[in-house]
Chains A and B, each alone.
Chain A
Amino acid sequence: KQEVTQIPAALSVPEGENLVLNCSFTDSAIYNLQWFRQDPGKGLTSLLLIQSSQREQTSGRLNASLDKSSGRSTLYIAASQPGDSATYLCAVRALVQKLVFGQGTRLTINP
């Protein structure tokens, strides 16, 4: 059974810092890994999608890496801004198209 863990559960940093969010998964047989952002009371917004054959994906100030063999992914946020405050969710897509989520990291960027 695939299990996804995100560390830390919560993170608070001053504006302008670079930061890393971690995601680990137990079964390396995945199709892809997706990072989402969730604002309070809202749905999920897709940030980055990494295929199992890829090592990283970049979008603006965001960079996600994938090490499938070790079951790890990281989301790097450069030059953080207060508008980045949200919950970040990592999810892996298994062979049967089922998306399994971590519990999320609640990020607060302090002005």
Chain B
Amino acid sequence: EAGVAQSPRYKIIEKRQSVAFWCNPISGHATLYWYQQILGQGPKLLIQFQNNGVVDDSQLPKDRFSAERLKGVDSTLKIQPAKLEDSAVYLCASSPLAPGNYGYTFGSGTRLTVV
């Protein structure tokens, strides 16, 4: 089975610029997650989708971050404008709909550096 695909792998931008990340989950996985991992910390959930609806976006800085999951498959995460503190690895994960019986599968992540 193909894994979770993310692109790009690396991105360097200047502060106040915009950036977008893309994620393709495992086929058939209804739930998709975006996590932010700052260096030296554990991942923090930004947003959770179930199919194409948002389940949890309580920790998403909505003044600058946005995310969508069109047709319940691929997802994009956008930052506009970026700040220095947004430098982190952005991880996408997916899981089947049935709770509790399955683990999460993560992509390789996108490392963002804001200068």
Contact = CB atoms under 8 A, between A and B. Distances in A.
Interface in B31-49: 31, 33, 40-45, 48
Contact of B55 (A32, A95, A97): A97
Contacts, number: 66
Interface residues of B, number: 28
B100 A31 contact: yes
Interface string A79-111: 000000000010101011111111110000000
Interface size class of A (residues with CB under 8 A): 20 to 34
B100 A52 contact: yes
A4 B104 CA distance: 17
A46 B91 CA distance: 14
A51 B100 contact: yes
Interface stretch (B14-22, B62-70, B73-81, B105-113): B105-113
Contacts of A6: 42
A44 interface: yes
Chain A, interface SS category: strand
A98 B44 CA distance: 10
Given A97-B48, A97-B55, A99-B33, A43 B100 contact: no
Interface of B: 6, 31, 33, 40-45, 48, 50, 55-56, 91, 93, 95, 99-109, 111
7 interchain residue pairs of minimum CB distance: A31-B100, A101-B42, A44-B106, A43-B108, A49-B103, A43-B109, A103-B42
21 contacts: A31-B99, A32-B103, A36-B106, A42-B108, A46-B106, A49-B103, A89-B43, A91-B42, A93-B103, A95-B99, A97-B50, A97-B55, A97-B99, A98-B45, A98-B48, A98-B56, A99-B45, A99-B93, A100-B45, A104-B41, A104-B42
